[in-house]
Amino acid sequence: MGSLNNRARIFTAHHQTPPCTRTHQIGALLLVAATFLLTRLFDQSFSTCTPYSSSNYDLSSQSKSLVHVTSDGSLMWPQRGYGIHLAIKIYVYEEHEIDGLKELLRGREGKISADACVKGQWGTQVKIHKLLLNSRFRTRKKEDADLFFVPAYVKCVRMMGGLNDKEINQTYVKVLNQMPYFRRSGGRDHIFVFPSGAGAHLFRSWAVYINRSIILTPEGDRTDKKDTTAFNTWKDIIIPGNVEDGMTRRGSTVVQPLPLSERKYLANYLGRAQGKIGRLKLIELSKQYPDKLESPELKFSGPDKLGRLEYFQHLRNAKFCLAPRGESSWTLRFYESFFVECVPVILSDQAELPFQNVIDYSQVSIKWPSTRIGLELLEYLQSIPDEDVERMIANGRQVRCLWVYAPESEQCSAMQGIMWELQRKVRQFHQSTETFWLHNQTTVNRNLVEFSSWKPPIHFP
């Protein structure tokens, strides 16, 4: 260390600056002004080169932070939270590649077809799989993959008697034990689809095996009997439900929206009560105010069963479509309402919605406390001017393409949104509690066996 005298000399020398003259002050002011003008010039130059500049695209502060569909149907993603380009590689496991995977897709006897499972509100499990198989982002080399997709139609398989709950659990565990790449990352780079309100709870041991994996689900709060939710905001992705293809196709849909002036009801709720308080309240309210609220006791079998065509014809006949909670917080009715141009009213306090970082749902829907279902709700909806209803319908028309599971040739689709969300989940570095690495970037297991030499089955703790 130097002496105190040396420190004093250093300190003094550091503060010996030349005198500041009038000329220096004027020069400094000119330098500041020149810097400001050059900065403005560069900002204007770069803004004309941004991929979001378009005669159809409003570059206001709000539109730059929200997804926007141009007049020609192109989807403009905001820079905030996404970036500019999709660059992702996904490996899709083949059903014959791993023992047990076919059972998760076809049932124990292999008789359940994908076509049978693509119908209904859980069809996303099939659609996402098929779209990824034909995606330009698919890679056939595991070593090149950013993410790995594990196909399974277990909701459909279970509903059709192909596997029971115990068999689903055992088969998932058997499949995962054959995946070295799953073990390498602890499942962090593996994607699973659970398309129903039960979420990942269809796989009873999810908390042991896939609690770090990426789960695609429409359900954000589903809990089991131990009050444990399978959804994690930081790693999982909310996806839209599966709306009837005839209602989402381009051009003429099977049921067309009605002008507001021709709609018979202020609001409607089309669904079963299922013993749920909110739904029971709506059904009772419709009996008190039948001219304002349509809520028939739907039959799901027999000659009085409401077909899909009749369902949408009823749905379009109101300004507001009420979406209360059922067995779980999400409801397909929320997404269906956009295609008959009926403003959805969410009556499910825990509901989570897809793509929330780029869609302002207050512009396209209403969320009302489920504890205040009653005449107060109808009076509030009645007070909303038609021009505000039309505005919300027009806004919804702009974003509803994000509910459609369409091929990548469509610039706006549910898959486009999901791919952007998946890209945000990609990790450059893979690790798990059973993964270790050496000085030369070699990945090894606890026994110091190199990753390339790992042999299935790879037993889990």
Each residue's pLDDT tens digit in the chain (461 positions)? 444 344 333 333 334 445 556 666 666 666 656 655 554 444 443 333 333 333 333 434 444 556 667 777 766 666 655 556 888 999 999 999 999 999 999 999 999 999 999 988 889 999 999 999 999 999 999 999 999 999 999 999 999 999 999 999 999 999 999 999 999 999 999 999 999 888 899 999 999 999 999 999 998 877 666 677 888 888 999 999 999 999 998 878 899 999 999 999 999 999 888 888 999 999 999 999 999 999 987 766 667 677 888 999 999 999 999 999 888 888 999 999 999 999 999 999 999 999 988 899 999 999 999 999 999 999 999 999 999 999 999 999 999 999 999 998 888 899 999 999 999 899 888 778 889 999 999 999 999 999 999 999 987 76
pLDDT score, position 85: 81
Beta bridge mates, 305: 299
pLDDT at 276: 86
Residue where the block lists tokens 């409003």: 58
Q: Return d(Cα 270, Cα 256) in angstroms, integer.
A: 18
**At residue 373, what is the residue type?**
I
Give the chain's largest Cα–Cα span: 103
pLDDT recorded at residue 106: 96
Task: Tell me the residue ranges of DSSP E strands in 317-392.
Answer: 318-324, 343-347, 366-367
Closest CA to 320 of 366, 354, 259, 257: 366
Separation of alpha carbons 400 and 341, rounded Å: 10
Whole-angstrom distance, CA of residue 322 vs CA of residue 324: 6
The closest of 166, 181, 168, 258 to 427, measured between CA atoms, is 181
Q: Which two tokens stand for residue 422?
A: 């998946």
68 near 57, Cβ under 8 Å? yes
Cα-to-chain-centroid distance, residue 221: 14
Strands 343-347 and 237-238: unpaired
Strands 343-347 and 366-367, sheet pairing: parallel
pLDDT tens, 113-159? 999 999 888 899 999 999 999 999 999 999 999 999 999 999 999 99
